Amino acid sequence: MKKHTNITPLVSVITPLYNASTYIIKTIESLQNQTYSHWEQLIVNDFSSDNSLEVVEQLSKNDSRIRIVTLDKNYGAAYCRNRATEIANGEYIAFLDADDLWHPEKLEKQLSFMQDNNAVVSYTNYLHIDKEGKSLGKRIKALPKLTYQKQHSNNYIGNLTGIYNVSKIGKIIAPNIRKRQDWAVWLEAIKKSNRPALGLQEDLAYYRVHEESMSANKWNLVTYNFSFYKTYLGYSWIKASFWLLRFFYEYFFKRVQWIEKVAQE
């Protein structure tokens, strides 16, 4: 596949790392195989107890685009993403967790899409895969336009698909909440951009579903969704409860329209 020849702009790809030695090699390879090559990967090792750090250190020896930050205790994914965001050099910021994958043309197609449409925030379709990387037959489609109001009612942006333009809105720091930090980041990015996020309706990322993943425990996230409205947005108990109900209405009756089955390989 022909490599992208334009060396600008730089994209900072943020990867929290915690005990992901089983997956991290494939994740990094999916980034190294991008047709758009002007990126840096900021891997923040969150005090892994397996050999994840040794694996990424070995890979970084042969690729200067990989930068590693090592923490002295476990802080959680939000802290790791914020730490990487603070030191990122890119004009654009994207996120790729240590067990997820990107399509080889993800960066090239998405950056071209953003530049052609003057988009500040963008995201794409993504597919669910299992531990072995096989399709689970599920596609999450990107809305063509995602307003602040729509994102406020539900998190429509798969974190592994989103990109925002730092030069236009600055760096977005996630709030110090245990879950749903990515929802907060994309909501704030849309707010700061003062325009809808634009969705590229192509399958350009692969979200791995396993026992530890959030998608495997949807009902356990009710309290986190409530906390998002009450703690992060500062709503009263009554207002937060109203928006939690609104969240479920959106999730079960609206968002389902953007989820579809696909043929499994």
Find the mean pLDDT for residues 171-193: 93
Question: According to the model, what pLDDT value does residue 219 have?
Answer: 63
Residue ranges of E strands in the chain: 11-17, 39-45, 66-70, 92-95, 101-102, 121-129, 135-140, 145-146, 163-165, 197-208, 259-261
pTM across the whole model: 0.93
Question: According to the model, what pLDDT value does residue 210 have?
Answer: 81
Tokens (6 digits) for 23 = 């997956």
Query: 102 with 96: CB under 8 angstroms?
Result: yes
pLDDT tens per residue, range 200-213? 999 999 999 986 55
**Distance, C-alpha 234 to centroid of its chain:** 24
Find the mean pLDDT for residues 93-122: 98
The band of 242, judged by pLDDT with boundaries at 50, 70 and 90, is: very high
The band of 5, judged by pLDDT with boundaries at 50, 70 and 90, is: very low
Question: According to the model, what pLDDT value does residue 212 have?
Answer: 55
Which residues contact residue 45 at a Cβ distance below 8 angstroms, ignoring those fewer than 6 apart? 17, 18, 52, 53, 56, 68, 69, 70, 71
Residue 111 has pLDDT above 60, yes or no: yes
Find the mean pLDDT for residues 80-97: 98
Question: According to the model, what pLDDT value does residue 217 have?
Answer: 58
Average pLDDT, the chain: 93
Stronger pLDDT, 264 or 11, i.e. the higher one: 11
DSSP state of 25: H
Residue 109 has pLDDT above 60, yes or no: yes
Question: According to the model, what pLDDT value does residue 264 have?
Answer: 76
Query: What does residue 64 show for φ and ψ, rounded to 5 degrees?
Result: -70, -10
